[in-house]
């Protein structure tokens, strides 16, 4: 099994603020206490095996991610009654991946939050995000 002794997701019990809510054969659904103030109910689905990003996951890990997502949704719907969800993977530093152990964000969304209606692509579609292409002189 791939394992990194310094990785917070390979060692979920080392962080007392990180809670394993659900798990199956290959993955955990984790919630972190320090994230709950702003992102109420948010969590991560994390493979137990140290994989750098989603492109390295096995079919079994993908299937187990799906299964945990459905179970996590049941729990989150019951406990928080969100109005929607934002789901996503960040892959690579440019995409804001800060922990290089694959993890799938599960973020309940609410009609009364200040950024309601602004999803994953909202910020990426802003004119300020347009790439500046350099002209190559020949």
pLDDT digits (tens, 9 = 90+) for 41-66: 999 999 999 999 999 999 999 999 99
- CB atoms under 10 Å from CB of 116, counted, come to 12
Question: What pLDDT, in 10s, does the model give residues 74-130?
Answer: 999 999 999 999 999 999 999 999 999 999 999 999 999 999 999 888 888 889 888
Are 64 and 76 contacting, i.e. CB atoms less than 8 angstroms apart? no
CA distance 107 to 72: 11
Q: What is the pLDDT of residue 109?
A: 97
Q: Within 13 A of 94's CA, how many CA atoms are on the CB side? A: 2
First-to-final CA distance of the chain: 50
Query: Average pLDDT for residues 6-26, to the nearest whole number?
Result: 93
CATH code for the domain defined by 12-129: 3.30.428.10
**Ranges of each domain in the chain:** 12-129
């Amino acid at each position: 099994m791939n394992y990194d002794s310094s990785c917070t997701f390979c060692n979920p019990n080392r962080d007392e603020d990180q809670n394993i809510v659900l798990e199956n054969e290959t993955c955990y659904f984790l919630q972190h206490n320090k994230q709950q103030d702003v992102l109420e109910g948010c969590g991560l689905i994390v493979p137990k095996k140290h994989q750098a990003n989603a492109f390295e996951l096995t079919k079994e890990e993908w299937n187990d991610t799906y299964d945990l997502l459905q179970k996590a949704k049941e729990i989150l719907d019951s406990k928080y009654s969100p109005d929607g969800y934002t789901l996503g993977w960040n892959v690579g530093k440019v995409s804001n991946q800060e922990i290089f152990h694959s993890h799938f964000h599960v973020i309940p969304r609410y009609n009364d939050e200040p950024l309601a209606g602004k999803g994953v692509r909202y910020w990426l579609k802003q004119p300020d995000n347009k790439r500046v292409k350099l002209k190559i002189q020949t």
